[in-house]
A = this chain, B = another copy of it.
Amino acid sequence: MDQATDAPTEPAGARAKPRVRDAEATKARILDAAKREFAKNGLGGARVDVIAEKARANKRMIYHYFGSKEGLFQTILENAYVDIRTAEQKLNLDHLAPREALERLVRFTWDYYLKNPEFITLVNSENLHRARHLKKSEVIKIVSRKLVSMVGSILERGVASGDFRAGIDPVQLNITIAAIGYYYLTNRFTGSIVFERDLMAKPALEERLRFNIDTILRLVAA
C-alpha cells in the first residue's frame, strides 16, 4: 500500500520511461484516499465520487479494482487490522522484563491510536455495520491470535517472576488496554465538552497515558 511507486508523471530514477499509466500507483492512491474518506465520514457517509477525485483517479477505476464501495471498504479495513497487528509484533517484547513489556504495549497502543486515528473510526464504522465485512476475512483471525498469545506470554512470565498475580485472562487484559486508550480518543469531541477540558491538549494526552499505564500495572500487580 505504501510501497515506493513512482508518481505517474515524473520519471523514475532506474526506469527510463515515465509510466503514465501505473495500475499499482492508482490502486494505492485510491486506497489512501478511501481510507481518509471512510475514516472521516464512515462507510455510509463516504462518497465514491469524492474518493475518486481525491485519488486523482476515475470513479470507474474504483469499480475496476475493488468491485464495489463495500469491497473497497473491506480491503481498507483488513489492511488497517493487518497494519496494527504487524506493528505490534515488531515491538519484540519477549526479551523485556514483564512490567516493562506491558508498559511498552500500553504506550504503543496509545501512540498508534494517536498517530493513526483513522483506525479507530474504521473500526467504529465496521461495528455500526455489525462487522459484516470483517466476518469475511480469514487473515484477521491469524494476526489476532498473535496479539493474544503475546499478551498471554507476558502475563505468564510476570506470574513466574512474581511481578504479576495469576489467573488473569489475556483477552480481558487486551480489551482493557485497548479500551482505556480507544475510548478516550474516539470520544474526544463529546468528552471535551462533557468534561469541560481540551482532552487533546498535549499535557492532557500525557496525563492520560500515565494514568493508563498506571491502571494496567495496578491491575496485574501481584
Q: A interface vs B, CB < 8 Å?
A: 41-42, 44-45, 81, 121, 123-124, 126-128, 130-131, 134-135, 140-141, 144-145, 148, 169, 171-172, 174-176, 178-180, 182-184, 186-197, 207-208, 211, 214-215, 218-219, 221
Contacts and interface: CB of A to CB of B under 8 A. Distances in A.
Given A45-B44, A134-B193, A169 B211 contact: yes
Nearest to A168: B211
Contacts of A189: 126-127, 130-131, 134
Contacts of A207: 169, 172
Most buried by B among A175, A180, A187, A194: A194
A127 B190 contact: yes
A97 B178 CA distance: 30
A77 to B, nearest CB: 9
Nearest to A181: B179
Contact of A44 (B44, B141, B183, B191): B44
A218 B173 CA distance: 14
B193 A184 contact: no
Given A134-B193, A140-B194, A127 B179 contact: no
Given A183-B183, A211-B176, A128 B121 contact: yes
Nearest to A186: B127
A131 B196 contact: no
A130 B200 CA distance: 13
A184 B173 CA distance: 12
B172 A208 contact: yes
A97 to B, nearest CB: 21
A126 B184 contact: no
20 contacts: A124-B124, A127-B187, A127-B188, A131-B192, A134-B190, A134-B193, A135-B193, A140-B193, A141-B194, A148-B195, A175-B183, A175-B208, A176-B180, A176-B215, A178-B183, A180-B183, A182-B183, A215-B219, A218-B219, A218-B221
